[in-house]
Structure 1
Amino acid sequence: MARMTCLTRSSAVNFYLFELDGATFIFDCGRPSDTETKDSEGKLRIENIQSSLWADLHRVDWPSVDFILISNHAQMITLPFITEYTEFSGDIYFTEVGLVFGRCTIEELLRYPEAPMITGEAGPSSATRTAAISTTRALPYSLDDLYKSLEKVQEIRYKETCYPFKHTRITPYSSGYALGSANWIVEHQHQRLSLVSNSSLWAATHPSNLDYTVIDDTDTLFLGGPYTASAAIRGGGPPTPLSQVFNQITSVALATLKRKGNVLFPGPIMGPVFDLLEVLAYALDAQNMGKIHFYAVSPVADRSLLYANIMGEWMCPEKQNLIYLPESPLVQDELISSGRLTYCASLDQLTSISFQEPCIIFAGHDPTWSRGPAVELLVHWGEHDRHTVILTDPMDHHHHTAWSASLDAPSSSSVSAGVPASSVGPWSVVFRAWEKLRARKQVVSAAPKCTIHTIPLEMNLSPPDVHHLIQRTAASTVILPSVIYNELPNGVTEAGQGGKRFVSYAFPETISWQPGVPQRQQVHLSEDTAKNATVHQIDGKTIVRVRGLLRSERDGLWIQSYLKVRKSIPKAKPLLCGSWVADRLTQAIEINPALELVSLEHKGADKVVITVTGTSAQATIICDKDRTKIQCDSDGLRKQITDLLFSDALQEL
């Protein structure tokens, strides 16, 4: 029986514990989100990440965890906490490129200034009441913890196989989501388990395309999250094609720039941002607006932008082909060289250079919108209606979902012009950030006056994508989140449909399933067995005949040469010794119905030779003062005599 425990309360984060027969491992270490709630008096509170972490992790017996697999840079935020503050001592596997962007993701959060955060009720007394929490780091560990943790990660490339231990092997395959992102196949005791995390079927983006090997060749298919917004939230219908999403973003950005306004893209400067930069640059050139400047503001903007361009072999085929031409795979290299793209670590550095407006700025922020350059820019531009904020990060939607479950909708007087009071979209995250800024007295208006657009760049699988993968996979068991299970077409998940079993899970939850018995298993031939194999032609088919012993080892099934096994059995096995052994053994043989005493010969004072027969073989037992030897051609008879020598009955005679 296999088990999976979902260690997160959100479909936006992957954190799973798998317990197979003889192997325990973690798949992804996403970051538990801080959650806002209201108490009995209606005051706004926040649950700190430290308490959220402990609530999720205390259920894990960390010394028993054998290894950890990471799928992409967004799903490793809790890893330093695990390696430095739990008893985990196993191996960690991640792709080398994914590890670089994972480091950038975490460093960005840790390097934000320790500015006060409004983490309690919105009011004058909140700072005093929550002083102990308000100055904590964005994450419950330090940069030193991060660097120590990264040193423990074993870097791996696509399709490279590693063995956490002898009978288990793991292989990563491209997931199509981001540079270095991976889905995994875990092979354990003749079972193949495919682990699918953030994945994308869009072929027009820069990462290496999804490798279907992880879908096609497996026994059990596990589908983690996150996914694109559900049909209910989108208002029905299929997800918008990515090309149309880019067109929408471009139209909004161009309209803002033409009215001399600035465009702010809050979020991490990696992943889809690389494709968005290219689309915007080409659109500006087409509109004769090539002098518009791009700015990237983040503590890790330099490494993120520059490192991506030297990772051409991890990109899609079209980008890989550019490696052999005198041009860069991604457009940011050309933009930086021409001076159209400037990157800096903070807004202080940005104001010290030649800042040109109107412009397009990509800026980071922490997950709760409490700090970071994007929040500072919202202070400067939020009260001017000519500027625009475009929310492209899908995580903003997930944060809104958590908020809307526990908070009342904003009143109509608190909503800026053009945004309906009944809005249930990710726009609410900006509204919440604005409330915190008002509590700090950094802004005056009741709501932001700038235009806010929510156009998420959804790179993850949609329910139709999942349906496509399910139809294609050869897996006999499919495990998927209940939120996706409920959106699949009618009849797809019916019992026995396509010979598949479906198991759904919620957040958080523990599920169990019985791995199916594979119809075929790989059997290894030893060198001697292969040499003695004979080939026959029967009814037009080629059949290889082998003779040997089938053995189940930790690394699989083996057929070993019978002669080699026989030779490996010693002719003489030292057991017990002394004259008392011969006397008691003789008595034991005489009362054993399966054995017959043939002769008993004393050769000197210290040596006795006993001849005994079994069902179809004969054995000679030599007992002297140093050892007892059994000479026999039958393994079965040898075992009978050996068991008799060590039996309690012999000791009691």
Structure 2
Amino acid sequence: MFVVDCGWPADDDADDMHPDMGKQQPRTNYKLAQNPRDVLGTINWARVDFILISNYEQMRLLPYITEYTEFSGPVYTTEPTKVYGKCVLEESIQVAQGALYEDAAGSSSKMSSQRGLLYSPRDIVAAMEKITDVRHNEMISPVPFVQVYTRSSGYCIGAGNWTVEYKGHRTAFISTSTFVSCLHPQEWDSTVLREAQALVFCDAVDPAPSSTGSGEMGDEGSWQSAHVSQLLNQLCSTAISTLKQRGRVLLVGEPYGVTQDIVQLVSENIVALNLPQPQFVFVSPIAEHTLQYGNIMGEWLCESKHALLYLPEYPFSDKELRKKGHLHFVSSLADLATKSIPQGNWFVVVPPSDTETLNHFVRQWRQDAQRCSSADMASGAGLAKFSILIHDDDTARAQRLVNRLSVGTELTYVPVARRFTFHSIEQCLAAAERAHHVLVPSHVYARLEAKAGRYEFRMFEFSHLQATTVDLDTDRHLPLDIQSEMTRRVCEGGKQHALVEGKLSLSAGRIRLECRDEDAAPSEPTAETAKPKTEVGSQHKLGSADSANAPALTQRDLARWTPEKLADELNGVGLNASVIPASPGSRAVQVLVPGGSATIHLDNEWLVDCSSSNVNWTVLTSLRKVLKAA
């Protein structure tokens, strides 16, 4: 058992769930109203063998998992993901602490602060120490008989898609990915699609076409059909046009990822047009570190920037800007007041979660524009012009930013489509040569459902935080005991193949073959054959009399149990069990576990009815332990 990615919606995503925002329903694919502690409590972390992290956006819950749950296995990710992930976690702590300060002053951002303070800075350091660095295409074995490796996803520096291989069967987990080849991260590796028998698409953007009036959000098709390089050039042109008029630009984005490409494009075009270089100001406590990491991790960059490693120059322009005094870093809005930054053309980068800083610049620049006289505008000495640029490809999240800033025609929204959409997933499915099963988010499945019949594989849908069961009816790999039985039959018959007859059963998550061998002499029941038998399905019968391998001893043992005794024994092994009030001719025990419940009917044949596969695993394992000890 393993976990892929430990992400959670960012703090700015909590605004839709705030009681002051009314009953607006989020449109993106996984806006969650649950508390992360409650969600994590539904998992038996003691049974999780290892964790795989795809990119630095998928680490928000990792410190809580490693420090406050029973998880004790290894965590695997690439070196850039670990480095950038630590920066993101540290920033979330500072944002949450700021939210707590606002709460004390009478503001209401409890949801954000509650999420951010799941752990402390010391927990972040401890979690980072438990991470094992891996490289793309490096084969690792977290547990016996399991091999794991990652391929580049193209999304950000160090991002990858994990493939888990067990006995030759490969399952690929396609996390946040992109086909774009004009950005600075290492390009998408399509090998992940051609190798796997099962594909799980963990993340895809859910476009929510809408209009903001003067903001011009545009519809889904207009920006999906355009190449990302065209969208970046459009953002760059808007910024340069504003800077030409002695204006100022506010870029809403994190100080890493595609923001680095936009800043470099603006800087290079300013030099090419022989215009005065603006002052680039990053308002973030982690911006200085993240820009430096991009320069020193050249081997994780795209081919064009990777080639610069062999030349005496850096892949990005921030070193040159710093040398000329045009690059400034401030940790917060309060820190900005203590910095001496030349006036004039400013290009400011602010994370979308820092609403206080965003509101400050919009309010201040609007006042400057209103105070600017016509004479100042004619002479070019005024500061009347300013632009706000948003590049988030999650249109619902960008819509909230537009509504929050409310700047009318001064805002330019150009979604840089970096994450997979259902169009991208459709291209992936065409290249899935060996796939037998595909799992996609529900909003993607709704758009592909009509075309699912033309594929050779079976397609399933899932929703976040909802248990999904996939019936792997093809390419089933037999356990070792079944393979041993087949080998024995082959050797006895002196043939290259043999027909094995029997019944497949599922017991506590293990598949077992129960054969009926009439020629074999009856033997005494062993510890293995005396185990309770279960049939495949949501209802499990223990001690069935029609099984050749169910000895009379098991039936007598089951008949001696009472509901009260069974409930006491189950409580003794850590379950919450209680006796259901008896009905005529029926005896039953109810078991409550995180994530569901189960009912055990103590009739002639015990019947275990579980609400989910996770509950099935937990209850049957504990029940087996109780029966063994009896």
Shared topology, TM-score over 0.5? yes
Matched, 1:361 2:348: yes
Determine the C-alpha separation between the residues in 2 that align with 1:282 and 1:75.
32
- Match for residue 505 of structure 1 among 462, 466, 473: 462
Q: How far did residue 324 of structure 1 move?
A: 0.6
- RMSD of the TM alignment (CA)? 3.9
| Partner AA of 1:287 in structure 2 | L
Deviations 1:442-461 (A, max 9, x none): xxxxx547822222222112
| Partner AA of 1:504 in structure 2 | E
Matched, 1:480 2:440: yes
Q: How far did residue 358 of structure 1 move?
A: 1.1
- Match for residue 14 of structure 2 among 20, 31, 34: 34
Q: How far did residue 145 of structure 1 move?
A: 1.3
| TM-score where L is the length of structure 2 | 0.65
- Match for residue 458 of structure 1 among 397, 417, 422: 417
Going from structure 1 to structure 2, the CA distance change for 1:306 and 1:381 (only over 3 Å counts) comes to same
Matched, 1:222 2:200: yes
Would the aligned equivalents of 1:183 and 1:196 in 2 still touch at CA under 8 Å? yes
Determine the C-alpha separation between the residues in 2 that align with 1:191 and 1:70.
21
Q: How far did residue 305 of structure 1 move?
A: 0.6
User: Which residue number in structure 2 is paired with residue 377 of structure 1?
Assistant: 361
Matched, 1:428 2:400: yes
Aligned residues: 461
Deviations 1:340-377 (A, max 9, x none): 323333345444223332121112253xx544x44543
Matched, 1:106 2:89: yes
Matched, 1:333 2:313: no
Would the aligned equivalents of 1:195 and 1:224 in 2 still touch at CA under 8 Å? yes
Determine the C-alpha separation between the residues in 2 that align with 1:137 and 1:466.
31
Would the aligned equivalents of 1:28 and 1:71 in 2 still touch at CA under 8 Å? no
| Partner AA of 2:422 in structure 1 | P
Q: How far did residue 226 of structure 1 move?
A: 3.1
Going from structure 1 to structure 2, the CA distance change for 1:276 and 1:150 (only over 3 Å counts) comes to same
Going from structure 1 to structure 2, the CA distance change for 1:87 and 1:41 (only over 3 Å counts) comes to closer
Deviations 1:456-489 (A, max 9, x none): 222112322211110001211111112122334x
Q: How far did residue 54 of structure 1 move?
A: 2.5
Matched, 1:68 2:54: no
Going from structure 1 to structure 2, the CA distance change for 1:520 and 1:51 (only over 3 Å counts) comes to closer
Q: How far did residue 29 of structure 1 move?
A: 2.6
Going from structure 1 to structure 2, the CA distance change for 1:338 and 1:485 (only over 3 Å counts) comes to same
Going from structure 1 to structure 2, the CA distance change for 1:481 and 1:42 (only over 3 Å counts) comes to closer
Identity of aligned residues (%): 27
Q: How far did residue 129 of structure 1 move?
A: 9.1
Going from structure 1 to structure 2, the CA distance change for 1:492 and 1:303 (only over 3 Å counts) comes to same
Higher mean C-alpha deviation, range 29-38 or range 169-178? 29-38
User: Which residue number in structure 2 is paired with residue 274 of structure 1?
Assistant: 260
Would the aligned equivalents of 2:153 and 2:189 in 1 still touch at CA under 8 Å? yes
Would the aligned equivalents of 1:24 and 1:66 in 2 still touch at CA under 8 Å? yes
Deviations 1:16-74 (A, max 9, x none): xxxxxxx343434334642535769969999x999621332222112111111111111
Would the aligned equivalents of 2:39 and 2:465 in 1 still touch at CA under 8 Å? no
Would the aligned equivalents of 2:173 and 2:202 in 1 still touch at CA under 8 Å? yes
| Partner AA of 2:131 in structure 1 | V
- Where relative contact order (Cα < 8 A, 6+ residues apart) is larger, the structure is 1
Q: How far did residue 307 of structure 1 move?
A: 1.2
**Partner SS state of residue 381, structure 1:** helix
Q: How far did residue 242 of structure 1 move?
A: 0.6
Going from structure 1 to structure 2, the CA distance change for 1:207 and 1:138 (only over 3 Å counts) comes to same
**Partner SS state of residue 211, structure 1:** coil
User: Which residue number in structure 2 is paired with residue 574 of structure 1?
Assistant: none
Deviations 1:500-527 (A, max 9, x none): 1111123442211133544999x9xxxx
Matched, 1:181 2:159: yes
User: Which residue number in structure 1 is paired with residue 280 of structure 2?
Assistant: 294
Determine the C-alpha separation between the residues in 2 that align with 1:429 and 1:303.
26
Determine the C-alpha separation between the residues in 2 that align with 1:487 and 1:43.
26
User: Which residue number in structure 1 is paired with residue 605 of structure 2?
Assistant: none
**Partner SS state of residue 36, structure 2:** helix
Matched, 1:83 2:55: no
Q: How far did residue 117 of structure 1 move?
A: 6.9
What aligned pairs does 1:58-457 form with structure 2 within 5 A after superposition? 58-112=41-95, 114-115=97-98, 138-227=116-205, 229=207, 234-236=219-221, 238-351=224-337, 352-366=339-353, 369-371=354-356, 373-385=357-369, 386-395=385-394, 397-399=395-397, 426-432=398-404, 448=407, 451-457=410-416
Higher mean C-alpha deviation, range 176-185 or range 314-323? 314-323
- Is there any run of 5+ residues in structure 1 with no aligned partner, and where? 1-22, 121-125, 400-425, 435-446, 524-549, 563-591, 596-653
| TM-score where L is the length of structure 1 | 0.63
Would the aligned equivalents of 1:49 and 1:140 in 2 still touch at CA under 8 Å? no
Q: Going by fraction, where is helix more abundant, 1 or 2? A: 2
Q: How far did residue 316 of structure 1 move?
A: 1.2
- Is there any run of 5+ residues in structure 2 with no aligned partner, and where? 211-217, 370-384, 492-518, 523-630
Would the aligned equivalents of 1:24 and 1:67 in 2 still touch at CA under 8 Å? yes
Would the aligned equivalents of 2:208 and 2:396 in 1 still touch at CA under 8 Å? no
Q: Going by fraction, where is strand more abundant, 1 or 2? A: 1
| Partner AA of 1:303 in structure 2 | H
- The structure having more radius of gyration, on CA atoms, is 1
- Match for residue 430 of structure 2 among 450, 471, 475: 471
Determine the C-alpha separation between the residues in 1 that align with 2:177 and 2:22.
40
